[in-house]
């Protein structure tokens, strides 16, 4: 057996090697993902983070004791899922008790209004309003008061945040005056990301990256986005992406995948490669479109969609649009998203505070004008749920499902399971290739 990556230090500190018991029948743990490679079989332990290579059956037989020590094999009656819960909660408590101050992260909605009309928008029906200059000043005072020497990450969000860029100027200007260290990112449709914006983004806003969604190319994009202004919005957005990249702003293209547009997204991936192969700083990733309004039961797809999704992901990866992501995450997951992370808050245009960008004004826990917080609400966003299918799933130790999250349905769809497992297997293979490179 060859060790490709060792167990995570945080897990190693809690789990000693498993003692080998005589007269005990062992089986493979449920927390193992296996994938074949040219040199044998790779085994990845999703709790400990250890990755090993077994060359063949004889190697597996000879490595039996090592595999038991490293918990790839566990006694027949061992409950590794309860064990994983215990280890993760101890590791989390140790991390929280380490006194390490986290960066603060604020998602600021400059407006809930938008110049596009995507049919799938989960904000449809939300009251359209803009943050005023006065509220923007109060937002900066609030952030300055909370920062306490910590670096602040800002994420401009909407609606379309660029429909109200003046409040971004105000907030950044005041943070700068107060000497608060900040950087920002933006989620935008890219339509208004013009030369003026790029100038401010590079200077005052300290904007590191912008996420822009493309739902297809040319006509498909124009139809889905249905901008209020007529014209070829697709070409305009592609041009804005190019200018942002030239100015050194990273652009993350987000592809919303549904059965309707998957083949068009394949064409789009080719177009992106052709147009931007010479540019640095372009990333692209695909995500399944969620059916938050529960209008279409096929929206979340099936096995066919999962396979098509994985093909698209591979295409983006082969084109070099995945960036230099570490092939395997070398830490345990303690948070699912901003909703269960105490260091993250969403600030609405009127100063109210919320935890989840899918719930926004439907579920607030306070506002920037008072110290009063609805602690029950904050707690409710941390409540986790295990679905029946999680109990046999090798991803159990890496998956957090929040009870209130709109993505967590009554079940974890086959599509989602195939995709998550497919992505992890891909990362395992990449980690192995990287390890082999280091031997050369
Ligand atoms: S949510 Fe899905 S992928 Fe995650 S552990 Fe449960 S079954 Fe597995
Ligand atoms: S709880 Fe779900 S929908 Fe809300 S921010 Fe987190 S991942 Fe997104």
> 3-class SS at 288?
strand
Give, for ligand 1, the residue of 88, 386, 390, 400 to mutate: max count of ligand atoms closer than 8 Å to Cβ: 390
Is residue 296 one of the residues assigned to a domain?
A: no
Is residue 320 one of the residues assigned to a domain?
A: no
Q: What is the DSSP string of 356-370?
A: -TTTGGGSEEEETT-
Atom of ligand 1 nearest to the CA of 386: 6
33 CB within 6 A, ligand 1: no
Is residue 88 one of the residues assigned to a domain?
A: yes
Nearest CA to ligand 2 atom 1: 405
**From start to end of 258-414, where are the E strands?**
282-288, 344-347, 352-354, 364-367
> Count of CB atoms within 10 A of residue 82's CB?
9
According to the model, what pLDDT value does residue 164 have?
A: 98
According to the model, what pLDDT value does residue 300 have?
A: 55
According to the model, what pLDDT value does residue 30 have?
A: 96
- Phi, psi (degrees; rounded to nearest 5) at 359: -100, -30
Name residues contacting ligand 2 (CB within 6 A): 336-339, 356-358, 402, 405-407
- Helical H segments across 31-76, by residue range: 57-62, 64-69
For ligand 2, the distance from its centroid to the CA atom of residue 189, given in whole angstroms, is 20
| Rounded Cα–Cα distance for residues 415 and 262 (Å) | 14
Sign of the four-CA dihedral 168, 169, 170, 174: positive
Is residue 202 one of the residues assigned to a domain?
A: no
Contact (Cβ atoms closer than 8 angstroms) between residue 89 and residue 38: no
Look at strands 104-109 and 344-347 and give their pairing: parallel
Work out how many domains the chain is built from and give that number: 1
Each residue's pLDDT, cut to its tens digit, for the chain (440 residues) gives 999 999 999 899 998 899 999 999 999 999 999 999 999 999 999 999 999 999 999 999 999 999 999 999 999 999 999 999 999 999 988 887 766 667 899 999 999 999 998 887 777 778 899 999 999 999 999 999 999 889 999 999 999 999 999 999 999 999 999 999 999 999 999 999 999 999 999 999 999 999 999 988 889 899 988 998 888 999 999 999 999 999 999 999 999 887 778 888 999 999 999 999 888 899 998 887 765 444 544 445 567 778 888 899 899 988 888 765 667 888 888 889 999 999 999 999 999 999 998 888 888 999 999 999 999 999 999 999 888 889 889 999 999 989 998 877 667 777 788 888 998 999 999 999 999 999 88
Domain of residue 24 covers 2-96
Long-range contacts of range 60-63, CB-CB < 8 Å, 24 or more positions apart?
60/1, 62/1, 63/1
> Count of CB atoms within 10 A of residue 240's CB?
23
According to the model, what pLDDT value does residue 70 have?
A: 96
Is residue 26 one of the residues assigned to a domain?
A: yes
For ligand 2, the distance from its centroid to the CA atom of residue 407, given in whole angstroms, is 7
Is residue 170 one of the residues assigned to a domain?
A: no
According to the model, what pLDDT value does residue 140 have?
A: 98
Q: Give Cα 406 distance to the centre of its chain.
A: 15
| Rounded Cα–Cα distance for residues 327 and 430 (Å) | 6
Is residue 101 one of the residues assigned to a domain?
A: no
| Rounded Cα–Cα distance for residues 159 and 284 (Å) | 22
Query: Does pTM surpass 0.95?
Result: no
Is residue 78 one of the residues assigned to a domain?
A: yes
């Amino acid at each position: 057996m060859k060790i490709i990556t060792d167990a995570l230090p945080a897990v190693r500190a809690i789990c000693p090697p498993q003692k080998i018991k005589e007269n005990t029948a062992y089986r493979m743990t449920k927390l193992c993902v296996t994938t074949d490679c040219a040199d044998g079989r790779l085994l990845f332990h999703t709790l400990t983070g250890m990755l090993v290579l077994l060359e063949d059956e004889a190697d597996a037989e000879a490595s039996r004791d090592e595999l038991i020590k490293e918990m790839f094999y566990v006694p027949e009656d061992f409950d590794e899922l309860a064990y994983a819960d215990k280890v993760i909660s101890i590791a989390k408590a140790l991390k929280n008790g380490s006194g390490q101050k986290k960066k603060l992260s604020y998602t600021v909605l400059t407006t809930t209004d938008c110049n596009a009309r995507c049919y799938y928008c989960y904000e449809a029906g939300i009251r359209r309003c803009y943050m005023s200059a006065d509220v923007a000043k109060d937002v900066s005072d609030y952030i300055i008061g909370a920062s306490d020497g910590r670096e602040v990450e800002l994420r401009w969000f909407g609606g379309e945040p660029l429909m109200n860029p003046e409040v971004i100027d105000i907030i950044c200007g005041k943070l700068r005056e107060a000497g608060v260290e900040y950087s920002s990112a933006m989620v935008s449709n890219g339509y208004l990301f013009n030369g003026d914006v790029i100038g401010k983004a590079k200077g005052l806003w300290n904007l590191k990256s912008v996420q822009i969604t493309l739902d297809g190319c040319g006509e498909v994009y124009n139809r889905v986005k249905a901008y209020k202004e007529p014209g070829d919005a697709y070409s305009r957005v592609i041009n804005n992406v190019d200018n942002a990249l030239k100015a050194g702003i990273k652009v993350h293209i987000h592809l919303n995948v549904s059965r309707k547009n998957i083949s068009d997204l394949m064409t789009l991936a080719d177009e992106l490669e052709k147009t931007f192969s010479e540019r640095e700083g372009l990333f692209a990733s695909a995500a399944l479109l969620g059916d938050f309004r529960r209008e279409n039961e096929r929206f979340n797809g099936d096995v066919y969609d999962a396979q098509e999704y994985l093909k698209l992901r591979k295409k983006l990866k082969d084109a070099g649009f995945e960036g230099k992501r570490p092939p395997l995450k070398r830490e345990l997951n303690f948070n699912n998203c901003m909703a269960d992370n105490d260091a993250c808050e969403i600030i609405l245009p009127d100063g109210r505070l919320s935890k989840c960008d899918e719930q926004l004004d439907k579920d607030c826990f306070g506002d920037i004008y008072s110290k009063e917080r609805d602690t029950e609400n904050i707690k409710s966003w941390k409540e986790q749920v295990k679905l029946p299918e999680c109990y046999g799933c090798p991803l159990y130790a890496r998956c957090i499902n929040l009870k209130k999250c709109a993505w967590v349905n009554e079940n974890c769809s086959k599509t989602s399971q195939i995709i998550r497992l497919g992505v992890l297997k891909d990362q395992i293979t990449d980690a192995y290739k990287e390890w082999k490179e280091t031997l050369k």
